[in-house]
């Protein structure tokens, strides 16, 4: 079972001279096996929502709740959130010089499971996850994200997703900057993950094109720190045709 329940979430960040409210009351529930797409213009607060779910210290929750299977996520540390089954693929994956992909994945898996994975099956699993995401086995020995192309970073995020097998995956613009082949590889990976049945996916995107490959159950239009509209996949088709304009105008 996995339900992520976000209720009336308000989030601020400190800028040099003021406190700015970025999320202004976000309510969203992702149930077992559901894929939700959040679509919205740049600067609407999509990444802020992703970081807040993951527990980034820059973002302060001033109101509202986030529950995972009834547990209070906001009371958990970043590590505890990962152990509880939350996964975030960041819009801009960070480089970790000196830490190999292999060690990074093993450390993450050990932290999440509470015990080290069995070496023999683990090496096989890592190679399979890399191969499934069109990454050469040699990537295991490279420093995390260092010198990776944009597409390699995103494919590495999906390899991580498949290996760590969280309950709910938050994917922040995993499609941006991908060519059509990489987009297909990444989408196939997300679909394999989602096909596990009880998994939740929150797919944040700026463009509709990934939704040709990943079929969301629900689409939310995100504008100015709020969900302005929600619907089924047909809402993505409407956005494709008309863009965000109508929602942006209505939000000001």
Nearer to ligand ADP by C-beta: 44 or 160?
44
d(CA 172, CA 218): 16
Site for ligand ADP in 4-23 (CB under 6 A): 13, 15, 22
Single residue of 46, 106, 156, 226 touching Mg ion by CB under 5 A: 46
How large is the greatest C-alpha to C-alpha distance in the chain, in angstroms?
57
Is residue 121 exposed (0-12), middle (13-18) or buried (19+ Cβ within 10 Å)? exposed
Cβ neighbours of residue 98 closer than 8 Å, sequence gap 6 or more: 143
**x/- binding map, residues 113-132, to Mg ion, per CB under 5 A?**
--------------------
Q: Is 133 in the site for ligand ADP (CB under 6 A)?
A: no
Q: Footprint of ligand ADP on residues 183-212 (CB under 6 A)?
A: none
What is the SS3 assignment for 20? strand
Span interacting with ligand ADP, options 41-49, 66-74, 174-182, 232-240, rule CB under 6 A: 41-49
13 binds, among Mg ion, ligand ADP, none (CB under 5 to 8 A by kind): ligand ADP
CA distances from 13 to 68, 75, 243 (A): 23, 18, 28
Q: 6, 22, 39, 49: which one contacts Mg ion (CB under 5 A)?
A: 49
Burial (Cβ within 10 Å: 0-12, 13-18, ≥19) of residue 184: middle
Pick the stretch among 88-96, 115-123, 143-151, 158-166 that binds Mg ion (CB under 5 A).
88-96
Residue 109: CB minimum distance to Mg ion, A: 27
Q: What character string, x for contact with ligand ADP (CB under 6 A) and - otherwise, covers 43-82?
A: xxxxxx---------x------------------------
Tokens coding 203: 């797919």
What are 104's two structure tokens? 């990074």
- Calpha distance 103→123 (Å, rounded): 11
Work out whether the CA dihedral 141, 142, 143, 145 comes out positive or negative.
negative
The footprint of Mg ion on residues 179-208 (CB under 5 A) is: none
- Footprint on this chain of ligand ADP (rule: CB under 6 A): 13, 15, 22, 40, 42-48, 58
């Amino acid at each position: 079972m996995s339900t992520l329940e976000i209720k009336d979430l308000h989030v601020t960040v400190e800028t040099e001279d003021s406190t700015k409210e970025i999320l202004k009351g976000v309510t969203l529930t992702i149930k077992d096996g559901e894929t939700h797409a959040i679509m919205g213009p740049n600067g609407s607060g999509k990444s802020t929502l992703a970081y807040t779910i993951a527990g980034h210290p820059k973002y302060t929750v001033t109101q509202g709740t986030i529950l995972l299977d009834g547990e209070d996520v906001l009371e958990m540390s970043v590590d505890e959130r990962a152990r509880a089954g939350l996964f975030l693929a960041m819009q801009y994956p960070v480089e970790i010089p000196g830490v190999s992909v292999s060690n990074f994945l093993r450390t993450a898996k050990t932290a999440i499971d509470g015990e080290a994975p069995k070496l023999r099956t683990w090496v096989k699993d890592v190679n399979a996850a890399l191969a499934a995401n069109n990454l050469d086995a040699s990537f295991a020995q490279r420093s995390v994200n260092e010198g990776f192309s944009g597409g390699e970073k995103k494919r590495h995020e999906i390899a991580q997703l498949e290996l760590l097998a969280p309950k709910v995956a938050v994917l922040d613009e995993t499609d941006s900057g991908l060519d059509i082949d990489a987009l297909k590889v990444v989408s196939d990976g997300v679909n394999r993950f989602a096909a596990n049945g009880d998994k939740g996916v929150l797919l944040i995107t700026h463009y509709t094109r990934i939704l040709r490959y990943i079929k969301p159950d629900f689409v939310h239009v995100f504008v100015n720190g709020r969900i302005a509209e929600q619907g089924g996949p047909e809402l993505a088709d409407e956005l494709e045709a008309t863009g965000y304009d109508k929602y942006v105008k209505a939000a000001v």
